[in-house]
């Protein structure tokens, strides 16, 4: 499947489940291309735990979103920001460079330090995730970041 069809299938799968799918945005002075792919986690007695490309998502599905970035040109670090669809409850990220927002992207930090209505924020409160890609990683030219969630 070519890249355009894969992106459209991914967007269609997330949109069907979550209403709208917003793209990852790179914030920098350089040119960065991103691609997101959504996988659903399947568990069965015969095959154990595996990830499959998402084609149809239903409430309770555990999903993994893999964001692939490629630096086209430029120098220095950059930031990738991903608004979460309302029907996807954030679980965790595979990157230590990740920060979250629980207020629509107005403030950022580690989940443990965030507060909502006077209480400590929980994963399901996350509205956006972002990753600060330092210059040393950006110099590699490409990378992948993954985070997981549950369909509400």
Q: What's 79's domain CATH number?
A: 2.60.40
pLDDT at 16: 39
Sign of CA dihedral 104, 110, 30, 88: negative
Residue with the bigger pLDDT between 112 and 16: it is 112
Asked whether the predicted pLDDT for residue 6 surpasses 50, the reply is no
The percent of residues above 90 in pLDDT, for the chain, comes to: 66
Q: What burial class does residue 112 get, using C-beta atoms within 10 Å of its C-beta: 0-12 exposed, 13-18 middle, 19+ buried?
A: exposed
DSSP 8-state code for residue 118? T
Query: Which of the residue ranges 25-34, 70-79, 88-97 would you say has the lowest mean pLDDT?
Result: 25-34
Structural domain count, the chain: 1
Given pLDDT bands bounded at 50, 70 and 90, which one contains residue 29? low
Q: Is 36 helix (H, G, I), strand (E, B) or coil?
A: strand
pLDDT at 12: 36
Q: Is 78 helix (H, G, I), strand (E, B) or coil?
A: strand
pLDDT at 28: 47
Q: Is 82 helix (H, G, I), strand (E, B) or coil?
A: strand
Contact in structure between 52 and 145 (CB atoms under 8 Å):
no
pLDDT at 70: 96
pLDDT at 25: 57
pLDDT in tens, 97-149: 899 999 999 999 999 999 999 999 999 999 999 999 999 999 999 999 999 99
Residue ranges making up the domain that contains 20: 3-151
Contacts of 8 (CB under 8 A, 6+ apart): none
């Amino acid at each position: 499947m070519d890249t355009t069809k894969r992106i459209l299938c991914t967007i269609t799968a997330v949109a069907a489940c979550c209403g709208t799918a917003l793209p990852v945005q790179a914030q920098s002075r350089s040119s960065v291309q991103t691609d997101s792919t959504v996988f659903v986690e399947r568990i069965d007695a015969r095959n154990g735990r595996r990830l499959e490309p998402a084609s149809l998502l239903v409430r309770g599905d555990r999903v993994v979103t893999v964001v692939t970035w490629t630096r086209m040109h430029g120098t220095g670090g950059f930031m990738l920001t991903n608004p979460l669809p309302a029907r996807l409850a954030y679980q965790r990220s595979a990157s230590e460079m990740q920060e979250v927002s629980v207020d629509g992207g107005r403030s950022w930090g580690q989940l443990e330090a965030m507060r909502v209505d006077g209480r400590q924020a929980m994963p399901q409160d996350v509205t956006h995730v972002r990753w600060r890609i330092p210059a040393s990683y950006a110099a590699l030219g490409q990378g992948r970041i993954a985070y997981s969630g549950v369909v509400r």
